[in-house]
Structure 1
Amino acid sequence: MNMEFNFKCLLCNIEQVDKVSRHINAPECAKEPVIRDVLKHLADIDFKMKNPEIMSGTWRIITDGLGESDPYKSEKQRFNSDMLQIYGLLKSRLSKGEEGFFEALRLSAVGNIIDFGANHYFDKEMCYEKICNLCSEDIFAIDHSRRLYEKLKVSKQLLVIGDNCGEIVLDKLLIERIRSEFSDIKIYFSVRGKAVLNDVTSDDALQVGMGDLAIIIDDGTEAPGTVLAQASDEFRRIFDESDLVIAKGQGNYEGLSDIKRDGLFFVLMAKCPVISDYIGVPNMKCVCVENNS
């Protein structure tokens, strides 16, 4: 399942310049040198690198050049707040017993639609509709959720690798359900070391109260996806020691799909043709897939 670099990813890197520039209302005169620097960066990359590694450099050029270290900070806080407003409602709708786990897992997967780096359209109302309506539906185009559940029964340590703002509230709902059924399991929740796109950081985890359920760690990077070669020693240790890893989102799939180990599951919505074609599912479909399959 190794996710190799695709040349179409170059376009996404370039488009981030325009997205961020428009978002912060940067003048054209500020955007031009940033585009030139990004093009120079992309001209020199090793095409064996994973896209999160490449995007890490692109993002640094954009934020340094435009003078905004966290251009989506207020939007991340708003999406977290919006999702927290329906957290109690969603929690009350979950079934009792193990079926509640599968419902919470589906909600966590659907929450992956909140992605400022992808090219699909979404807004708060769309998120609400999808999240509220799909809890009880069979949404996974590839569904290894039963395997995940059975492995939770025998796991002593779980690492959940977070992805995006807003989505983290639904991850919290899932972790809460896991903790209620498997009270002895030690749970870590990882975030990015620095702000990148709308990926979660420790600020997001604190805002939604994730620390009440899991030990929060950061991976020590500003890549929009887990790249073990760049990650901190602490993160790699916890990754290796954990019996089970749930990696959320496309960036973590891109960064970790070549890792061969037991108990590594990807939960995401395939939001671009490159990833959906590679996994073998229609675009905008969710998967819960074990990596050694």
Structure 2
Amino acid sequence: MRATVDCVHCYLKQAVSCMRMAGLDEDSQHEILFKLMDYVKGLDRNATPAENSTYAVLKTYELMGVDDPYKEVKRQSNDLALELYPRLKRMLDEYGDRLHSALKIAVAGNVIDLGIRRSFDIEGELRYSMETGFSKDHYDRFKQKLENVDEVLFLGDNAGEIVFDKVLVEELVSLGKKVTYVVKEGPVLNDSTMEDAIYVGMDKVARVITTGSRFLGVSFKHMSQEFADALNKAPLIISKGQANFESLEQHEMAQDRVFFLLKIKCDEVAKAAGAALGDVVFFTV
């Protein structure tokens, strides 16, 4: 997915979120934002929104002199999600098909996205995901593919949300599948890192690796050999969130192998996914 003109204000909105999270005063925010505007002019319009967002966010960190403004709120998100975890596990038995329910629970966690939104309603998202469900749903296709593989690669997204993912990972493991869960190498917005994975116990149920970089989504120019090998060899991939979708949906390797699991949070992603703003979707291209 290529960046569009509508992506530009999102880069700046993410920068403002970072600065507010770091507690910068308004004068400092203006000063940094004006410098960032000049920087954003040089970003590649042919790159993905995720890649350009990363450059803008990391530049903001550099200008602020703060390397992880979301550190505390990521811990709070993890703690909040861990409090919900026992209830999430009970919900698997309340809504019929456990695997389908686990997918819906996992996507409900995708609302925890402090890079774009500064508040969220987890209870409302859970009700919507479980009762309304996916507007675009390739579950039957996924289940058929799953029957013929031993391993699943899971591309994670945010802190807090990782606990919702853990419910899905545990369900996959109960079906006899080995799961490799992927986090970021270092802090960027509120994306999960190895620290988050260990904190919520993901490392106890899955092999956890990093992308090898701090780039949002999947950057083919900035990844470790370990992640590249895992991505190329995986027979089935669950791709969580918008940034991973932006990175992979146009690649031939994604066809009928990568299943995108996300909440649609912007009009451009809605167009690319063939869904409506606010929908939750689970599909392959």
Alignment-derived partner of residue 157 in structure 2: 163
CA deviation map 1:25-84 (0-9, x unaligned): 212343244223322221112211111111121111111111211111111111111111
CA distance in 2, matches of 1:267, 1:194: 23
Aligned pair partner of 1:191 in 149, 174, 183: 183
CA deviation map 1:198-217 (0-9, x unaligned): 11111111111001111110
CA distance in 2, matches of 1:250, 1:97: 26
Is 1:257 aligned to 2:255, yes or no?
A: no
Alignment-derived partner of residue 111 in structure 1: 109
How far off its partner does 1:135 sit? 5.7
Contact 2:129 2:280 in 1 (8 A): no
Structure 2 SS opposite 1:231: coil
Alignment-derived partner of residue 119 in structure 2: 122
CA deviation map 1:192-236 (0-9, x unaligned): 111111111111111110011111100012122112222111101
Alignment-derived partner of residue 215 in structure 2: 223
Q: Map 1:133-152; keep pairs closer than 5 Å.
A: 133-134=127-128, 136-152=130-146
Contact 1:113 1:122 in 2 (8 A): no
Alignment-derived partner of residue 32 in structure 2: 34
Contact 1:267 1:287 in 2 (8 A): yes
CA distance in 2, matches of 1:95, 1:237: 36
Length-normalised TM-score, structure 1: 0.91
Q: Map 1:273-284; keep pairs closer than 5 Å.
A: 273-284=267-278
Q: Which amino acid aligns with 1:24?
A: A
Is 1:16 aligned to 2:14, yes or no?
A: yes
CA distance in 2, matches of 1:228, 1:286: 26
How far off its partner does 1:270 sit? 0.3
CA distance in 2, matches of 1:94, 1:117: 29
CA distance in 1, matches of 2:96, 2:147: 11
Structure 1 SS opposite 2:166: helix
Structure 1 SS opposite 2:277: coil
Alignment-derived partner of residue 196 in structure 2: 204
Contact 1:193 1:222 in 2 (8 A): yes
CA distance in 2, matches of 1:4, 1:221: 20
Structure 1 unmatched ranges of 5 or more? none
Length-normalised TM-score, structure 2: 0.94
Structure 2 SS opposite 1:17: helix
Structure 2 SS opposite 1:95: helix
CA deviation map 1:120-161 (0-9, x unaligned): x633xx213322x24642411110012111211111221100
How far off its partner does 1:264 sit? 0.7
Alignment-derived partner of residue 76 in structure 2: 78
Q: Which amino acid aligns with 2:25?
A: P
Alignment-derived partner of residue 226 in structure 2: 234
Is 1:289 aligned to 2:283, yes or no?
A: yes
CA RMSD between the two structures: 1.8
Alignment-derived partner of residue 178 in structure 1: 172
CA distance in 2, matches of 1:51, 1:268: 16
Structure 2 unmatched ranges of 5 or more? none
How far off its partner does 1:20 sit? 2.0
